Amino acid sequence: MPAKRPIRNRLNDLSPRDWLKFQKSWFVHDPPRRKKDVLRHPGKFPETLAQNFISFFTKSGGWVLDPMVGTGSTIIASLRTGRNSVGIELNPEYADLARSLVAQERQAIDREADTLAAEILTGDAAHLASFGLPMFDYVLTSPPYWDMLHARGAESQRLRRSTPHLDVTYSEDPADLGNVADYEEFLHRLVNIYAALQPYLRPGAYLTIIVKNIKKGGRIYPLAWDLGHAVGQFFTLKDERIWCQDDIRLAPYGLGNAWVSNTHHHYCLQFRNKP
């Protein structure tokens, strides 16, 4: 009986066992507590989560882009996994904080990381052509969840307002999509940013958008599903993974009156640039 040909892994450096584990359509990820210096940002996603996605969708030495990088989670995760990376951030203060955190990460890594690119660019992702970007092997990003940080009734926002030195919104900049009040305008501007990524993503490479549907004014706005449809006009929507959060306390929304769920999951939408 002829020997089986070894599998050639063109996508990443994972073993077949680790590849298979990532293929599960849902996962629970309870990240470490956020460090004090990044608590200021109201919408940071965990470096540990970003590491898992970057490790699956790239090989060592690949190039990763996050066009809305915040305090640099994607860049830090790229350093930890041995990838080059570029992040774009509209808010100059968050960009400076991200640069500081990336510098700290370089010092903390127990291997030679000086050869890896880990750049934070200050500017508006709506103007990608102005940055002189290289080609990328992967895009990992999470957008503002519309203008929900302006919702005064949200329990998390009330807590942030009562705590010194914590931002309640991302910025007051009109270019900040988190300040756009009209949902259709917000969606249109966001989709345009993602569509403009196509020339910078090599053929066959993946784009992951981490997002959730939104509840506002007694109705649901299906942001994840709307993005799946709209961005799917430019990239191929391949699949979704559901990030389940099991570390958030339940709240009695609508108790005794109406159905209001505790939304403790995000959609990790996987798109692929057509080869």
Number of compact structural domains in the chain: 1
| 149 is a domain residue | yes
Say what the pLDDT of residue 7 is. Answer: 76
Q: Per residue in 139-176, pLDDT tens?
A: 999 999 898 887 765 555 555 455 556 666 677 889 99
| 14 is a domain residue | no
Residues 6+ apart with CB under 8 A from 195: 231, 233, 234
What is the pTM (predicted TM-score) of this model?
0.90
Q: How far is CA 192 from CA 5, 65, 188, 195, 210, in A?
A: 43, 16, 6, 5, 17
CATH number of domain containing 196: 3.40.50.150
| CA neighbor of 236 nearest in space, from 266, 206, 212 | 206
User: What stretches in the chain show pLDDT beneath 50?
Assistant: 160
Dihedral of the alpha carbons of 55, 136, 180, 229, in degrees to the nearest 10? -80
| 20 is a domain residue | no
Q: What gap in Å lies between CA 58 and CA 77, rounded to an integer?
A: 12
Say what the pLDDT of residue 84 is. Answer: 97
Is 254 in contact with 260 (CB distance < 8 Å)? Answer: yes
Q: Per residue in 198-240, pLDDT tens?
A: 999 999 999 999 999 999 888 999 999 999 999 999 999 999 9
Sheet containing 118-122: order of strands: 26-28, 236-244, 265-272, 201-211, 136-141, 63-66, 84-89, 118-122
Q: What gap in Å lies between CA 109 and CA 247, rounded to an integer?
A: 28
| 27 is a domain residue | no
